[in-house]
Chains A and B, each alone.
Chain A
Amino acid sequence: MSDFTPNTGLSFSIHKGVTRWGETAIKFWLGSCTALSLFTTAAIVVLLLVESFDFFMAVSPIDFFFGTRWVPLLKPSSYGVLPLLWGTMQITIGAALIAIPLGLASAIYLSEYASNQVRAWIKPILELLAGIPTVVYGYFALTFVTPMLRHVVPDIQVFNALSAAIVVGIMILPTIATLSDNALRAVPDSLRQAAYAIGATSYEVTTSIVVPAGLSGVMASFLLAISRAIGETMAVTLAAGQTPNLSLGMLGSIETMTAYIVQISIGDTPSGSIAYQTLFAVAALLFFITLMINVISQWILGRFREVYD
């Protein structure tokens, strides 16, 4: 968001001295709508901090951030968030391992190899993939990916991290492909032509000229996709299970932060109880992680953008 259009540069001295109440009122309305976005952010931050504060009055932050057992609903309860965090990380890392190479390869194909006609077909299809509701991906994981995996790994559980990671990878692939494609296409042709002129092959042009030149946009697309994977809810709730644990196995049931939030809000946890407050503590953690990644991604875009004329 660093590319501001220049101001219109028009001065309105001709209207000075005349107060146009209608104009002022409209401007006030438009301004209020804009300010609403600030209120939204403020509301999110205040709500999460205040409710988490209540939670941290009852549970020490050390137990929360470094505890290895997450048992909020049963006695003796334990509120170590690491198992949930690890669940989210397994899904995110798995999805990234799938989506980053495949997404980048698709972006390279679209921007460097595909004819305009092919591109005009594939890009909308990728956007369609990105527009499919996440609950559909959850269904797909449960009824298609897991049974397929069972052919390869017979002892895989019904709910497992692997199939969820695969569908989340499929889900974020279009984000990487379309955004990276935009970044690669913004690299001016003169750079490619210069490389071809000294005898480089298309592979060499792509890997040593085009991708490095568009790297800021490509990296930003990776981060954006990763932040989407972290916040992804329905696919992991349906497919990855609700068993918070710190095990490495991708073949068993796990629980992510988002799936936990859904689990609590579906169950009849009395509001005001500590178990209910965990909702806000986990959501606050989720919010700040994704916020951090988004801010880094914008920073990369602004800081490392190569500008060509």
Chain B
Amino acid sequence: MAFLSENAQKHLANRHRKSRLFALLCAIVTWSSVFLLGVLLVRITLDGIGWLNWNFLTSFPSRFPAQAGIKSALAGTLWLIVMIAFISIPVGVSAALYLEEFSKRGRLDTLIEVNIANLSGVPSIVYGILGLAIFVRFFGLERSLISGALTMSLLIVPVIIIASREAIKTVPMSIRYAALSLGATRWQTTWSHVLPSAFPGIMTGVILALSRAIGETAPLILIGAASYVAFLPKGPMDSFTALPIQIYGWASRPQAEFSELAAAGILVLLAVLLLMNATAIFIRNKTEKRLK
């Protein structure tokens, strides 16, 4: 067994020990992040579960914690989801289709691509300021749902464009050739062949982008969503509050009861997000099967 000198054997053993230690360390770090997510969820659940009941869902906010609820915040968030979806999906998907199917890849298109990548990195609060100046002030839309929805749409359209382009890129060229060879125009090809094939991927990206919009707080604070709203919005021009705003309002109060209310609000917000993500997965699975 004397292939190696004693020193060399020691050296080799050390190298292997170091390697095993490193692997262990990396594993511990990764599992700690998972554990941390667990702690976060358990902690919030423990704080908030006691307040989570029917009353909480169907009451307006109040200065008495026992009577406070998230009716107006939940309604505001649902309004926002629908409005943002109607504004941002057509615009985002259209832009993605243009860039993938119609663009001639000239200098202007390159500029647009770089620009979209940069837009997706702009802090959300800057979009809030933009919304405040353009929609609230310049167009005179006031601190309304429509201002909030337009601002949020500006924020997530770049995200939708990027995700949709990835989905459209995965559509095989043969599908396009087949349509074009039968005399379809470029738009006919896009509409009847490319879009349906890319649909599951686009949908997943869109829903992830929407769930980002639902959790965003800063832009809504900037455009002036109030944290105390004791009525339900009846139309896009009404003032409103939303779940993250209500959570922020409660969390920033020193009393323990309000902090627990914030936890209960977070549970509802996370439930909404979970529901949206589950829908995304459901749609993806369903349409993927149909296409095959």
B5 at the interface (CB under 8 A from A): no
A126: B residues at CB distance < 8 A: 33-34
Expressed in whole angstroms, the minimum distance between the Cβ of B65 and any Cβ of chain A is 15
**Could you write out 27 A-B pairs with CB less than 8 Å apart?**
A1-B114, A4-B105, A4-B110, A31-B102, A33-B94, A34-B98, A34-B99, A41-B115, A47-B129, A47-B133, A102-B32, A105-B29, A126-B33, A133-B217, A133-B269, A134-B218, A136-B215, A170-B33, A201-B15, A233-B123, A234-B217, A237-B248, A265-B128, A279-B129, A291-B118, A294-B118, A298-B114
Are B91 and A298 in contact (CB-based, < 8 A)? no
Identity of the chain B residue whose Cβ is nearest the Cβ of A297 in the assembled complex: B121
> How far apart sit A280 and B125, CA to CA, in the bound complex (Å)?
11
Number of interface residues of B (CB under 8 A): 95
Q: Interface digits, A1-18 against B, CB 8 Å rule (1 contact, 0 not)? A: 100110110101011000
Are B33 and A177 in contact (CB-based, < 8 A)? yes
> How far apart sit A113 and B177, CA to CA, in the bound complex (Å)?
42
- The residue that A110 contacts in the complex, of B30, B32, B43, B217, with Cβ under 8 A, is B30
Are A135 and B247 in contact (CB-based, < 8 A)? yes
> How far apart sit A30 and B187, CA to CA, in the bound complex (Å)?
11
Are B186 and A109 in contact (CB-based, < 8 A)? no
Are B125 and A233 in contact (CB-based, < 8 A)? yes
B22 at the interface (CB under 8 A from A): yes
B104: A residues at CB distance < 8 A: 7
Give the interface residue-count category, chain A: 35 or more
A238 at the interface (CB under 8 A from B): yes
Query: A188-245: which have CB < 8 Å to B?
Result: 201-204, 206, 224, 227, 230-234, 237-238
Expressed in whole angstroms, the minimum distance between the Cβ of A200 and any Cβ of chain B is 9
B241 at the interface (CB under 8 A from A): no
> How far apart sit A258 and B129, CA to CA, in the bound complex (Å)?
11
Q: A: which residues have CB within 8 A of B?
A: 1, 4-5, 7-8, 10, 12, 14-15, 20, 22-23, 26-27, 29-31, 33-38, 40-41, 43-44, 47-48, 51, 102, 105-106, 108-110, 112-114, 122, 125-126, 128-129, 131-136, 138-140, 142-144, 170, 173-174, 177, 201-204, 206, 224, 227, 230-234, 237-238, 258, 261-262, 265-266, 271, 279-280, 283, 286-287, 290-291, 294-295, 298
Nearest 9 A/B pairs, CB to CB: A231-B123, A133-B215, A201-B19, A30-B98, A203-B19, A109-B26, A33-B94, A294-B121, A233-B218
A206: B residues at CB distance < 8 A: 22
Identity of the chain A residue whose Cβ is nearest the Cβ of B93 in the assembled complex: A33
Q: Interface digits, B248-292 against A, CB 8 Å rule (1 contact, 0 not)? A: 100110000001001100100110010001000000000000000
Are A140 and B99 in contact (CB-based, < 8 A)? no
> How far apart sit A134 and B35, CA to CA, in the bound complex (Å)?
19
Grouping DSSP codes into helix (H, G, I), strand (E, B) and loop, the A interface class, with mixed when no group exceeds half, is: helix
Other contacts beyond A30-B98, A105-B29: 12, CB < 8 A = A26-B187, A40-B157, A41-B115, A106-B30, A109-B30, A131-B211, A135-B247, A142-B251, A227-B121, A233-B125, A237-B248, A265-B128
Are B123 and A286 in contact (CB-based, < 8 A)? yes
Expressed in whole angstroms, the minimum distance between the Cβ of A278 and any Cβ of chain B is 12
B27 at the interface (CB under 8 A from A): yes
B116: A residues at CB distance < 8 A: 1, 37
A40, A113, A139, A298 pick with most chain B CB within 10 angstroms: A139
> How far apart sit A40 and B216, CA to CA, in the bound complex (Å)?
19
> How far apart sit A114 and B26, CA to CA, in the bound complex (Å)?
10
B186: A residues at CB distance < 8 A: 12, 23
A27: B residues at CB distance < 8 A: 98, 102, 187
B180 at the interface (CB under 8 A from A): yes
